[in-house]
Amino acid sequence: MIRAGLALLGRVWWLVPMMALAAGWLWSDRSHADTRLTLANERLVRVQDAADAEAAKLKAERDGAERVAVATATYADRLASRAPIILESTKMVEKYAQTDAGRVRCRDADRVRSIDMLDAALAAPADAAASTGGR
């Protein structure tokens, strides 16, 4: 029987290393399945993080562009409010005073008279003090 086993092994000896390799491959495949699953999950998280990072980058760029637009509009409004309006005729003044912006900037005649009276009242004591010699 031992001779028959050795004779059989002599004919199919090449099956022994193949069976060992197959067994090793199956064992390593099962033991590395968890590693492959972990790597796949990490890749998925990395892809999701990249998508989130891209969304955050786009949001930051959009917010920055909005801030620049608001700042530009504010600056333009401030410059426009400082720019003098040159009115060359009485008719232009009357037309401008009828607009919303003109109502805010143009004073009615009573306010102008009251400002002139205030200026005169403030200047009068100085004139009186100068004529009396500073007493």
What DSSP assignment string belongs to the chain? Answer: -HHHHHHHHHHSTTHHHHHHHHHHHHHHHHHHHHHHHHHHHHHHHHHHHHHHHHHHHHHHHHHHHHHHHHHHHHHHHHHHHHSPP---SHHHHHHHHTSHHHHHHSPPHHHHHHHHHHHHHHHHHHHHHHHTT--
| 60-77 pLDDT per residue, tens | 999 999 999 999 999 988
Q: What is the pLDDT of residue 20?
A: 94
Which residue stretches of the chain have pLDDT < 70? 83, 85-87, 105-112, 125-135
